[in-house]
Amino acid sequence: MLDLTYELPKPKVISGAKHDWELVIGMEVHAQVSSNSKLFSGASTKFGAEPNSNVAFVDAAMPGMLPVINEYCIEQAVRTGLGLKADINLNSAFDRKNYFYPDLPQGYQISQLYHPIVGEGEVLVELGDGTARNVRVERIHMEQDAGKSIHDMDPNMSFVDLNRTGVCLMEIVSQPDIRGPEEAAAYIVKLRQIMQYLGTCDGNMQNGNLRADVNVSICLPGQYEKYQATQDFGHLGTRCEIKNMNSMRFIQQAIEVEARRQIAIVEGGGKVDQETRLYDPDKGETRSMRSKEEAHDYRYFPDPDLLPLEIEQAWVDDIAANLPELPDAKKARFVADFGLSDYDASVLTAEVDAAAYFEATAKGRNGKLAANWVINELFGRLKQEDHDITSSPVTPEQLGGIIDLISADTISGKIAKDLFEIVYTEGGDPAEIVEARGMKQVTDTGAIEAALDEIIAANPAQVEKAKVNPKLAGWFVGQVMKATGGKANPKAVNQLVAQKLGE
Amino acid sequence: MSDLNKLGLAEARDLLRKGETTSVELTNDCLKAIDAADALNAFVHKTPELALERAKAADARIQEGDAPAMCGLPIGIKDLFCTKGVDSQAASRILEGFKPEYESTVSQQLADAGAVMLGKLNMDEFAMGSSNETSVYGNAVSPWRRDGSDAELTPGGSSGGSASAVAADLCLAATGTDTGGSIRQPAAFTGTVGIKPTYGRCSRWGVVAFASSLDQAGPMTKSVRDASIMLEAMCGHDAKDSTSAELAVPNFEAMLTGDIKGKKIGIPKEYRMDGTPAEIEALWADGAAMLKDAGAEIVDISLPHTKYALPAYYVIAPAEASSNLARYDGVRYGHRATLEAGDGITEMYEKTRAQGFGPEVQRRVMIGTYVLSAGFYDAYYNRARRVRTLIKKDFEDVFAAGIDAILTPATPSAAFGLGEMTEADPVQMYLNDVFTVTVNLAGLPGISVPAGVDKQGLPLGLQLIGKPWEEGDLLNTAYALENAAGFVAKPGQWW
């Protein structure tokens, strides 16, 4: 694979009353595994079902019920780990995290504290301005999601929906390598992109299938570099964890707001308490979730209902051998093979389906031209109607056909746009449409010349001006195009205009 | 025929096959005996209609010549097993009124083998106790009494109702569960046979969990042969229990030859404890002599970490229990406290659990919560786990050295009187498990066989501990001991 090289982005700096401050951010991303059934039960994971309809006995923690691991979920965690170039632990184990809450029927969440299935990996986070940073991933572990408590349906009662209870989450824990709100958002975008490529998580943040806890601390410039050199957290400030955010915009806002809160505390001579906070987007503030007296002691211990999870290297190798091409590799290949700009390659590889569409379109054709058509015409048109690429009415074959007609000078770029609209709305084979509707461009120089001569004859004043100022030649080109209904080959028209005016 | 309830499984099975009786007759005799035995408080949920329905179905199968191993044999089921549509409340107030919509694997397998469930049996609350005195139903009573005394005795615990019912011939056999001795101690106290198989032999699915890494179901019967028949029906791999072993189940009954010539029986010196009554010591020596007479070689062995077993057990079991019992929160099923205005979720948990759990369960939940809490985890739970590994290794070492089975007393005393321990330090009660917990910690099979009576006429049991997965061999050794001991005493019927 080709590696693209990047400059490091500058850390976000916030000026306090006394100092400049830098931000240090680590993230715990909870990604729901795309599986049909839950981590330890056969109940469906389908979103939007009637409350409490996707609940197996074990999900409701009925007496005597036991968890049985869903192998598919293990495979997805391993795939995700491999996609993040991470170490896969052949031996991992499940632990119980004990706490009481009505949407946690067992009274504990089955998780992997001591021996996660995936170890250290990394994510290349691009900022889109030619800078990028490798964010280290500390670990990925599997765990059960909790259910949903609903407090606003009745003034005196709370309700619980267990549909989500026991759904498999991957918790992807980063090192504190993220240096600003934009980087935090870009990190999530990249993680989501990789998981979508792998098919391990659909990345739907609106449905809560991708959520993040964000750890934020502040430090004086230079301190972070000391941390990097020593890995000693003592060089960094005390962090606060902002819980459970599922909006890219709120994540960025929350980081900034929290950093400013911490700066005000420290500059005022106070100390930041390590605590869990919630972001309130309406008030634009973070607030403490619980007091110290209520601090949880989760009493983690190995879940005795489950044997240690042992997987075989050969199985991991097999999964690795069948991984799809991942975003970084695809982007580098698009740049190398199709001559695309970094930006175009990024846009085209953002979604795996779009990348596949582009490749099918560009195959055996001019890559840059294909990229322009996919990005500018197709994406633009799809966006107008809120379609995504998988529901595009224009197939890669059809778009390729249009591009072929352009490349062969059969139609002009302008006509091509009309043709695209016809194909988009009516369908059909582009070449046949061009033939049937007489959209072919006029390459017969005799016909073009006749039209041009007529225009020159009718506009002597313009001819004189154009001879002094060659830029005005464009006016004649436009008139010829108009006279030929846009079908004249622009190249031929340009040549003839230049020739005639130069005479 | 009358008093068919006094039969064992094997005898009744043979009569049924010969057509000399019917399951309905057997079942009716048991139901009559049960109704006459309310003083024993053994059956706490009776299911006579269901029993007769199943008995009729069993008779039909026998007539058709399609009789599985336990076809038509009436048994009792410990209340810890979830039984579909039948109250299953682990003898706890917190599961008041709980009728599961599912059947535990073990009780389902027994039903599939044709067994007829008579009802649910008393036990200590959540199987926590050694005297059946922690039950929400009140204690079960042993059918045994000391000679010349009418003091009520414990049938042991936690499977006290099972032991009492089998000893009093209310049923032909019963299921029990054993986390630290809860099958073997009550069996020893009531002159019955109880085997805890290797951890992983019986599915735990549908059995209310006490301590998941220790819990095992097993049969409580009137003879070793009956234990073989019933164990075979109960065990086997279950995909619904991740800790269930994927191993074939042998025909245990076919392995009862009584021939133990050349078998090496270990006598662990660490089980000779201060304060053990002389009668127990004597019984143990007699047992060794009987096995020797039957051709076995008696070998002195050492299990050096034995003394740490009880403390380790009383860390691990409560730790797991504190987590396993967290689900009883009043939210979805079972008891929920009546709340007052202004009460929130915390009050709901606190009141529900304070009302729903008895003192012993509360004690163990608190111990378990404490040993798992931050700052104590390593000192207690992790240390206990290390001790457990050492105890397991003790056994592995002696088995590797050629020992086939280990003979120990089953209990440090004969059955004690109900209420006698009420005022005592809870540790006194925990000491009942001193000979049995090692077996659970090591995951081994252990069986209690009645081997004699004490001078007050109360039964005493000996425990044999076997190699993992070799229940067949263990049952055969127990069979030889049973034959040699010739225990025939029965409690006089006072109830």
Give the amino acid at B406.
Answer: I
Residues of A in contact with B102 (CB under 8 A): 57, 62
Residues in chain A with CB shorter than 8 Å from the CB of B239 are: 68
Give the residue from A389, A412, A435 where a domain finishes: A412
Q: Where are the alpha helices (DSSP H) in B236-296?
A: 278-293
Asked if residue A421 is part of any domain, the answer here is: no
Q: How many angstroms separate the CA atoms of B459 and B482, rounded?
A: 13
CB B191, CB B450: distance < 8 Å: yes
> Omega of the bond prior to A15 within 30 degrees of 0, cis?
no
Weakest mean pLDDT among A150-154, A317-321, B428-432:
B428-432
The predicted structure's pLDDT at residue A3: 60
- Is the pLDDT confidence value at A1 over 50? no
Both A98 and A21 in one domain: the answer is: yes
Q: Which residues of A475-498 are buried (b: 16+ CB within 10 A; e: fewer)?
A: ebbebbbebbebbbbbebbbebbe
Question: Has residue B352 got a pLDDT over 70?
Answer: yes
pLDDT at B424: 81
Same domain as A460, residue A389: no
Place of tokens 């004249």: A488
For chain B, what is the largest distance between any 2 Cα atoms, rounded to a whole number of angstroms? 73
Give the model's confidence band at B2: pLDDT under 50 very low, under 70 low, under 90 confident, else very high.
confident
Confidence check: pLDDT of A2 > 50: no
Indicate the average pLDDT of chain B.
Answer: 97
- Beta-carbon neighbour count of residue B130 at 10 Å? 29
Of the two residues A388 and B261, the one the predictor is more confident about is B261
List chain B residues with CB under 8 Å of A105.
327, 331-332
Compute how many other C-beta atoms are within 10 angstroms of the C-beta atom of residue B320: 28
B340 to chain A: nearest residue by CA? A156
* A333 and A311 together in one domain: no
Assess whether pLDDT exceeds 60 at residue A108: yes
- Whether residues A311 and A383 share a domain: the answer is no
Q: Of the candidates B90, B204, B381, which has its C-beta nearest A301's C-beta?
A: B381
A99, A160, A165, A305: best mutation site toward chain B, by most B Cβ within 10 Å? A305
Average pLDDT, chain A: 93
Question: Within a 13 Å sphere around the CA of B378, how many CA atoms are in the beta-carbon half?
Answer: 1
Which 331-370 residues of chain B touch chain A by CB within 8 A? 331-333, 345, 349, 369
Query: Residue A292 above 60 pLDDT?
Result: no
> Is the pLDDT assigned to residue B326 strictly greater than 70?
yes
Asked if A355 and A290 sit in the same domain, the reply is: no
User: How confident is the model over B55-89, as pLDDT tens digits?
Assistant: 999 999 999 998 999 999 999 999 999 999 999 99
Catalytic residues of B: 78, 158, 182
* Cα separation, A277 vs B424, whole angstroms: 49
Whether residue A490 is predicted with pLDDT greater than 50 in this model: the reply is yes
Which of B329, B349, B352 to substitute to test the interface with A, most A CBs within 10 Å?
A: B329
pLDDT digits (tens, 9 = 90+) for B382-392: 999 999 999 99
Q: Does residue A436 lie in a domain region? A: no
Domain assignment of residue A207, given as a range: 5-294+307-320
| Statement to judge: residues A376 and A457 lie in one domain | no
H helix intervals, B357-417:
359-372, 383-400
Q: Is the pLDDT of residue A355 over 50?
A: yes
Residue A437 counted as domain residue: no
Q: How many CA atoms lie within 13 Å of B313's alpha carbon, on the beta-carbon side? A: 31
Region B294-313: what's the mean pLDDT? Answer: 97
Of A66, A105, A304, the CB nearest to B240: A66
A-B Cβ pairs (cutoff 8 Å, strict)? 99
Confidence of residue B274 (pLDDT cuts 50, 70, 90): confident
CB atoms within 10 A of CB B39: 12
Q: Of B209, B320, B377, which is closest to A64 when you measure between CB atoms?
A: B209
As a whole number of angstroms, the distance between CA A309 and CA A117 comes to 8
Q: Give the pLDDT of residue B268.
A: 98
Q: Tell me what percent of the residues of chain A surpass a pLDDT of 90.
A: 78
Nearest chain B residue (CA) to A96? B323
- Asked if A62 and A210 sit in the same domain, the reply is yes
Q: Do B331 and A160 touch (CB under 8 A)?
A: yes
Question: What is the value of pTM for the model shown?
Answer: 0.91
Tell me the percentage of chain B whose pLDDT exceeds 70.
100
Tell me if B327 and A61 make a contact (CB, 8 A cut-off). yes
Q: Are residues A270 and A351 in the same domain?
A: no
What's residue A61's pLDDT? 98
Provide the domain count of chain A.
3
CB contact under 8 A, B333 and A64: no
Here the tokens at position A200 are: 């391990």
Mean pLDDT of B276-283: 94
Give per-residue burial for B286-317: e unless 16+ CB within 10 Å, then b: bbbebbeebebbbeebebebbebbbbbbbbbb
Residues B449-471 have a mean pLDDT of 97
pLDDT in tens, A49-66: 999 999 999 999 999 999
Q: Is residue A299 part of a domain?
A: no
Contact B323 A62 (CB under 8 A): no
pLDDT tens profile B129-178: 999 999 999 999 999 999 999 999 999 999 999 999 999 999 999 999 99
Measured in residues, chain B has a length of: 495
pLDDT tens for residues A185-211? 999 999 999 999 999 999 999 999 999
Determine if residue B397 is left, alpha or beta; phi over 0 gives left, psi from -120 to 50 gives alpha, anything else beta: alpha
Residues A384 and A457 in one domain: no
Q: List phi, psi (to 5°) of A473.
A: -55, -30
Interchain CB distance below 8 Å, B104 and A64: yes
Whether residue A433 lies inside any domain: the answer is no
Is B193 in contact with B139 (CB distance < 8 Å)? no
Distance from CA of B44 to the nearest CA of A (A): 19
Closest-CA distance of chain A to residue B126, Å: 11
Contacts of B95 in chain A (CB under 8 A): 63
CA distance B300 to B292: 13
Q: Does B271 touch chain A (CB under 8 A)?
A: no
Facing A304 at nearest CB: one of B98, B213, B374: B213
Give a yes or no: residue A425 inside a domain: no
Q: Are residues A337 and A404 in the same domain?
A: yes
Q: What is the pLDDT of residue A503?
A: 60
What ipTM, to 2 d.p.? 0.96
Residue A431 lies in a domain: no
Q: What is the pLDDT of residue A376?
A: 94
Does A267 share its domain with A146?
yes
> Is residue A104 assigned to a domain?
yes
For residue A239, pLDDT over 80 is answered with yes
Return the DSSP state at B339: P
Number of Cβ atoms within 10 Å of the Cβ of B248:
7
Contact (CB<8Å) A64/B204: yes
Top mean-pLDDT range of A413-417, A494-498, B436-440: B436-440
With cut-offs at 50, 70 and 90, classify the pLDDT of residue A440.
Answer: confident
Residues of A with CB under 8 A from a CB of B: 57, 60-69, 96, 98, 100-102, 105-108, 158, 160, 297, 299-301, 304-307
pLDDT reading at B355 higher than 70: yes
3-state secondary structure of A429: coil
A455 and A407 in one domain?
Answer: no
C-alpha span between A398 and A309 (Å, rounded): 49
The predicted model gives B283-297 an average pLDDT of 98
Tokens of A467: 């001879």
- DSSP character string of A71-106: HHHHHHHHHHHHHTTPPBPSEE--EEEE---TT-TT
pLDDT in tens, B100-130: 999 999 999 999 999 999 999 999 999 999 9
Nearest beta carbon to residue A98 from set B101, B323, B333: B323
Quote the minimal CA–CA distance from B201 to chain A in Å: 14
Q: How confident is the model at residue B441 (pLDDT cuts 50, 70, 90)?
A: very high
Buried b (16+ CB within 10 A) or exposed e, B325-350: bbbbbbbbbbbbbeeeeeeebeebbe
- Give the number of other CB atoms < 10 A from CB of residue A140: 26
Which residues from B are below 8 Å from A158, CB to CB? 345
Name the more confident of B421 and B398: B398
| Weakest mean pLDDT among A91-100, B33-42, B318-327, B413-422 | B413-422
Instruction: Decide if A64 and B213 are in contact by the 8 Å CB cutoff.
Output: no
Rounded mean pLDDT of B490-495? 96
